[in-house]
């Protein structure tokens, strides 16, 4: 029977691990392995993980979650891997559904994308679900990975994951590492499937790494798109350009004009110097001056809707 490992990258996660590890221990079908990568935490992350029966791998210096996930993949002995952030949770039916899928389709696919419930941790408000489109995912994996944000809820065949190179350790993509991973796996021709049943809980925290570093996320998104444009820009120019315009809007919201200009330059290389989706007036202005249109739109937002920028 194929085996499955739960792999948890952790940094100062002692307060979160008990909930996740209790959920892991309460699965109807046990994980074959539960591993925690302790990324040089300054709290008792390692002690908590060991208390709940996890195998702990201690890093020598703090290197970030992508490095930790790659080390977990190398260290585990199971056929399949599931990476899970320490501050999220898994539902009781997780392992049963995943093992059933592996038994039925594990020889056909390399990656299983999971559905999840997005919940505000403070209020308990349900904010949405993953809700991926299996038909479009099967039609063109890389196109889907470019156009849709595939976050940290997946199951990966270990051999295929390692052969594709695992997580990209380029520091430029650190805050967009999940997009970078799934585009890398798609470019390596791994086959993706989707499990629509909700198996995971993704909590929103105001102090999370992404929420606390939104500008870094926008810059990392640019670098992910830049890498895919370098390898597949002639195949997916429109899809990449559409995501770049979204990225430009995020960069402009922080008045990061140097990065916004980089993204605009990349759009020119892709053959899409002007915006074609969204507001028609803005699209018209981009035909006169792409950067001028972006700057003007941000100026108007800050003047007439300053609450959108925290003012």
All domains of the chain in start order, with CATH: 4-204 (3.90.550.10), 214-309 (no CATH)
Distance CA(34)–CA(273), nearest Å, equals: 48
80-110: per-residue pLDDT in tens? 999 999 999 999 999 999 999 999 999 999 9
Residue 209 pLDDT > 60: no
Residues in CB range of 309: below 8 A, 6 or more apart: 253, 301, 302
pLDDT score at 205: 86
151-196: per-residue pLDDT in tens? 989 999 999 999 999 999 999 999 999 999 999 999 999 999 999 9
Given its phi and psi angles, is residue 40 left (phi above 0), alpha (psi -120 to 50 degrees) or beta?
A: left
117: β partners: 129, 201
219, 251 in Cβ contact below 8 A? yes
250-296: per-residue pLDDT in tens? 999 999 999 999 999 999 999 999 999 889 999 999 999 999 999 99
Residue-averaged pLDDT of the chain = 95
Residue 211 pLDDT > 70: no
40-74: per-residue pLDDT in tens? 999 999 999 999 999 999 999 999 999 999 999 99
Residue 207 pLDDT > 90: no
Residues in CB range of 109: below 8 A, 6 or more apart: 157, 191, 192, 193
36: β partners: 8, 56
Distance CA(104)–CA(122), nearest Å, equals: 38
Where residue 223 falls among pLDDT bands split at 50, 70, 90? very high
**Lowest mean per-residue pLDDT among 30-44, 98-112, 118-132, 219-233:** 118-132
Q: What are phi and psi of 257, to 5 degrees?
A: -65, -35
**pTM score, whole prediction:** 0.94
2-18: per-residue pLDDT in tens? 999 999 999 999 999 99
Where residue 311 falls among pLDDT bands split at 50, 70, 90? low
């Amino acid at each position: 029977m194929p085996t499955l490992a739960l792999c948890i990258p952790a940094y100062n996660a002692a307060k979160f691990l008990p909930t996740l590890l209790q959920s892991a221990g309460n699965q109807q079908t046990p994980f074959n392995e539960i591993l925690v990568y302790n990324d040089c935490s300054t709290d008792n992350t390692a002690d908590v993980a060991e208390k709940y029966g996890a195998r702990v791998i201690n890093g020598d210096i703090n290197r970030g979650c992508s490095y930790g996930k790659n080390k977990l993949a190398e260290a585990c002995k199971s056929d399949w891997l599931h990476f899970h952030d320490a501050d999220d949770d898994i539902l009781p039916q997780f392992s049963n559904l995943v093992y059933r899928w592996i038994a039925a389709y594990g020889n056909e696919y390399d990656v299983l994308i999971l559905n999840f419930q997005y919940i505000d941790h403070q209020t308990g408000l349900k904010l949405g679900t993953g809700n991926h489109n299996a038909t479009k995912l099967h039609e063109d994996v890389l196109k889907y990975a470019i156009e849709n944000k595939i976050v940290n809820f997946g199951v990966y065949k270990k051999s295929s994951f390692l052969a594709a190179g695992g997580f990209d350790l380029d520091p430029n993509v650190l805050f967009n590492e999940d997009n970078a991973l799934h585009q890398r796996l798609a470019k390596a021709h791994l086959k993706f499937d989707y499990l629509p049943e909700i198996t995971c809980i993704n909590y929103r925290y105001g102090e999370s790494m992404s929420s606390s570093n939104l500008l870094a996320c926008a810059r990392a998104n640019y670098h992910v798109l830049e890498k895919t444009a370098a390898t597949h820009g002639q195949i997916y120019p429109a899809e990449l350009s559409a995501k770049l315009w979204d990225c430009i809007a995020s960069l402009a919201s922080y008045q990061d004009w140097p990065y916004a200009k980089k993204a605009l330059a990349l759009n020119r290389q892709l053959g899409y110097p002007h915006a074609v989706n969204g507001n028609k007036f803005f699209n018209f202005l981009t035909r006169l001056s792409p950067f001028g249109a972006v700057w003007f739109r941000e100026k108007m937002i800050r003047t007439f809707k300053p609450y959108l920028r925290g003012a």
